[in-house]
Structure formats: C-alpha cells, structure tokens
Amino acid sequence: MLEEYIDYLHIKDARYSDGVVTPAGEGDANFPTLLKRFAQKDGERFLTIEPHLTIFEGLKELEASGSSAERLDSGAGFKYASRDESFAAAASALHRQVELAQPVRYGIIGVGNMGTSHVKFYAEGKIKEMRLTAIADLDKSRLEANLDQLPELKAFGSGKELIDSGACDAVVIATPHYSHPHLVKYAISKGLHVLCEKPAGVYTKQVREMNEYAAASDRVFAMMFNQRTNHVYRKMKEIVSSGVYGQIKRVNWIVTDWYRTQSYYDSGGWRATWSGEGGGVLLNQCPHNLDLWQWICGMPSKVRAFCHEGKWHDIEVEDDVTIYAEYENGATGVFITSTGDTPGTNRFEITLDKAKLVCEGGETLSLYVLEQSSADFSKTSPGGFARPKGEFVKVETDGKNERHVGVINAFAARIIRGEPLVAEGLEGINGLAISNAAHLSSWLGKDVELPFDEDLFYSELQKKIASSKGGKETVKTVGVADLSSTYNS
C-alpha cells in the first residue's frame, strides 16, 4: 500500500517465491531478482543491503573466495574477522549480483545531445539488463561532463578506441550521420552488438553495404526508431495492417512542429551543411516520421518533391519540404515538413476504403468507420450527393510509450534471450530511401521511382558537397541540450 511513497528501502532478506521482504536470514537471498524488481520502479531510489558479522545460511553462495570462504569450508563458523571484512564481502557480493542482473556491458559512442541523454537514461536506473561501462567522444569537455555524473565509466577519445578496448559487449552509436555506417561495420567486425541512432546513414548506397555486412554476421543490429514504441502509432499500424477497413486510399502528414532558430544552425560549423550533415530537415529532424510513414503505410513507388534550401534560415540545406507520393495500388500521399513554422502542426491522416484514422501530435487517435466502403457506396447509391453513414469508434490502446528506453531494453533482451527488437537495423534504409528519393526528385526537377538509381543520387550529392560551406565558422557554441521535449515530434 505504501510502495508508491517509498524512496529508500533497506532489505534485510527476501523470498523469491512471493517477493516478500523478510527478517535477516529467513529469505533465500535471491538478489538478482530483487535488483531487477527494484529497477522497475521509476524515479531516483536507493537500495541498501546490510553487511553483518554473521554470514546467513542463504548468503553462502554469494561469498567471495578467500579467507571467509575458507573458514566456512573448515567449519570455523559463520563469522567475519571484522566489520571491514564483512562490508568488503557484502560489497563484492552485491557487485556480482549487479553483473548477473545486467550481464551485457555497453558503451555510448558520441555524447553530444542524444548521447548524453543515453547516459542519463542509465544513470536514472532505466536500463534494466545492460550496464554502461564506457563512453567515447572527440570532445574532451563532453566526456568530462558525463564523467561528473558517472565517474566509474571508462572514457575514450574515439569510437574506434572504445570498440578496440574490450570494455563493452555492445555499443550505442550517437555520432554525426556520415559516420554511422562505418562505425556499425567496425563494431560488428570486432564482435560487438550495435544499436544505431537515426539516421542509418546519409545515402542508401552506403547503408545498403552496411546492411549486407551486418546481415552476414551473428551480431544483433538495431535502429533507434523510438517512436515505434508510441501506443498511438502502434495502434495505427495494427489497424492498417489488419485490412479490416480495406486498402489505403490517401495519406496526409503535415509535421511542421520542428521549428528551429538561426542560433540552432549556427551552433556548429558542420550543422546544416551538405558535407557535415548531408541534408536538412529530412535527414536531421524527420527520420522518425519517414520511418513511421513507411512502417505503417508501406513504401511508395514514386515521389515528386520540392525541397526548399535555406528558405527560412541562412543555411545551405533544405528547411521546407513538400513530398507527393504514389503507391502501387493507386493510393497517394502528401508529406509536408518545415523548421520555419511556429506554431507548427503535427497531423497524420490515413484514409482507408471504409475508415479514416487521424493522429494529432502523436498523442491522440480518432477512427471514423463507414457502414459501407466508399467504393461500394459510390457504385450503388442512387443519390448524387449521398454519403455512406458512419460513426466515430473509440480506439483502445495500451497507453504505453517507452521511447528510447524501450528500444534499449528490447535491444538487451534480443542479445540475452533472442526477443524481438523494436526496429531491426536493416530497416533503417527504408525511411532514408524516401528521403534520398525526395532530394533527388527536387534536384532533378522530376518524378523519381523507387527503388531509384543510387549511383545517380551519390553523384548528385557529391556535387552538393563540392559546393558546401562545411567549414563555416561556428557563430555560437550551444551547450548540450535536453531533447526530451522533442521525442514525440
């Protein structure tokens, strides 16, 4: 009854069978399970286990080798020589139990805005079965800032150094876009499992090579498509995939709530340049939206796009985009995004033959269901202005949105027990293909069919890079930002 009010819990002992906390020596000392259960609680909490001069029967298996274990074997009794020895044994035992509860060691490569968020997730106790052991960044000040929070971490000056160190079994890659495929391949080549932040890369030609390399290995490769954990988007996919309401007729997504200031773009010489980021709003802000679009609705067969470069900011990449898309079944779609609108809009509509889904802000979902399919009604109704009857139907979801933490914990579960990922690493190419096709369409001023000519895209991208201001001066240095408010966009 008081569980939700407890911030500090001191456990004497407990029973695994029913989870009951017991007096000392009356439980079974199943500490790995206790630690896992305790970790399920959100917020900052503290767990302590008290050392005693007497070794309780249930704790025998936790004792470290050495003088205390030898005394047990010789029948000398369950006594420590001193409280210091007792405390050292308890600390050692607890450390081993943490390792059992979190068997996978992982490192974070790149501790800028997103990488620092990943460190924070671990520091808050949200990562259940992996323990953070190392971080890497080219910027020493970023390493120092994160070491202030978790001083026990090993720090490295590059991703390669971390991968080569042997300090990790898995890595989370949160570096600039162009480096993703190279680091993924290198980590896998050294036997590490990989979770890569979005986007998978800048161009599909490189990402396809990465995918082929990853597919040939036995390592777990995952993408950080955290918005797939959102209960609203999961329900949209479930409804569309079920086919209960017929095929998709039309898709409209206007997602213009990505407003950014000039200061944001001036915060780094690499930012918003073809040579530094490889694109603008499509590649930096919208990979999650493009992934959800194709995940829920499937891949379009053709696009015609208008990517306006530097329309609202002094930048060389696109900050305002409109994409028109066509599907094999004749359905059409429109995707609009911008970093220049405020207040912005985030409205995702899917029109099916017998229903319409409307998602607002990734938070609410409405479903309007027709009594008869629109196609059948059109063919049979005698009234020229008649419409099929319908009604709004309440949509039930599980309400869960585990975001980045859910993706990371699923990654650990795949490594340990082979459970499903939120997003397979090989899927990262899909949303990127839409982005690349949109850029190519805008650059060439014509329709582009998917799959498109990847060599042609690469050639056109090189032209952009050749004229890039990638070495532009950093006008203003902006500290590591809290990105939590952007996770649902």
Q: How far apart are CA 246 and CA 354, in angstroms?
A: 6
Domain match, 178 and 252 both:
no
**Torsion of the alpha carbons at 166, 168, 174 and 180, rounded to the nearest 10:** 50
In a domain, 411, yes or no: no
Across the strands, what pairs with 195? 172, 222
DSSP 402: -
Q: Residue 19's pLDDT is what? A: 64
Q: What is the CATH number of the domain that holds 263?
A: 3.30.360.10
Q: Residue 99's pLDDT is what? A: 79
Domain match, 340 and 473 both:
yes
Question: Tens digits of per-residue pLDDT, 346-360?
Answer: 999 999 999 999 999
With beta carbons less than 8 A apart as the criterion, state whether 199 and 180 touch.
yes
Q: Residue 348's pLDDT is what? A: 99
pLDDT band at 69 (very low <50, low <70, confident <90, very high): very low
Q: Residue 58's pLDDT is what? A: 44
For the chain, what is the domain count? 3
What would the mean pLDDT of 386-395 be, rounded to a whole number? 96
Question: Tens digits of per-residue pLDDT, 204-232?
Answer: 999 999 999 999 999 999 999 999 999 99
In a domain, 113, yes or no: yes
Q: What is the CATH number of the domain that holds 191?
A: 3.40.50.720
Hey, is 485 helix, strand or coil? Answer: helix
In a domain, 32, yes or no: yes
Q: How far apart are CA 82 and CA 80, in angstroms?
A: 5
Domain match, 362 and 471 both:
yes
Q: Looking at the predicted structure, is the pLDDT value of residue 57 above 50? A: no
Residue 213, token pair as written in the block: 């390399």
Domain final residue pick, 76, 101, 126: 101
Q: Residue 268's pLDDT is what? A: 79
What would the mean pLDDT of 290-311 be, rounded to a whole number? 99
With beta carbons less than 8 A apart as the criterion, state whether 474 and 268 touch.
yes
The DSSP annotation for 344-385 comes to: --EEEEEEESSEEEEEETTTEEEEEEESS-HHHHHHH-S-TT
Q: Residue 472's pLDDT is what? A: 60
What would the mean pLDDT of 109-118 be, rounded to a whole number? 96
Task: Give the domain range for residue 363.
Answer: 228-400+427-486
Domain match, 233 and 381 both:
yes
Domain match, 451 and 340 both:
yes
* Amino acid, res. 68: S
Domain match, 123 and 270 both:
no
In a domain, 420, yes or no: no
Q: Residue 176's pLDDT is what? A: 94
Q: Residue 31's pLDDT is what? A: 59
Domain match, 370 and 432 both:
yes
With beta carbons less than 8 A apart as the criterion, state whether 292 and 350 touch.
no
Domain match, 479 and 388 both:
yes
Listed range (185-194, 261-270, 408-417, 476-485) with the worst mean pLDDT: 476-485
Q: Residue 101's pLDDT is what? A: 75
Domain match, 93 and 110 both:
no
Burial class (CB in 10 A: 0-12, 13-18, 19+), 20: exposed
Domain final residue pick, 101, 124, 157: 101
DSSP 63: P
| pTM metric for this prediction | 0.83
In a domain, 94, yes or no: yes
With beta carbons less than 8 A apart as the criterion, state whether 480 and 113 touch.
yes
Cβ partners under 8 Å of residue 370, min gap 6: 354, 355, 377, 388, 389, 390
Domain match, 238 and 283 both:
yes
Domain match, 158 and 252 both:
no
Rg of the chain in Å (alpha carbons): 27
CA distances from 385 to 289, 356, 381, 382 (A): 36, 20, 9, 9
In a domain, 235, yes or no: yes
Q: How far apart are CA 260 and CA 256, in angstroms?
A: 11
Domain match, 277 and 323 both:
yes
What would the mean pLDDT of 392-411 be, rounded to a whole number? 97
Hey, is 256 helix, strand or coil? Answer: coil
In a domain, 96, yes or no: yes
Domain final residue pick, 101, 127, 162: 101
Q: Where are the alpha helices (DSSP H) in 203-351?
A: 204-215, 231-242, 262-265, 281-284, 287-297
Q: Residue 300's pLDDT is what? A: 99
In a domain, 421, yes or no: no
What would the mean pLDDT of 379-388 be, rounded to a whole number? 95
pLDDT band at 23 (very low <50, low <70, confident <90, very high): confident
Q: How far apart are CA 279 and CA 452, in angstroms?
A: 18
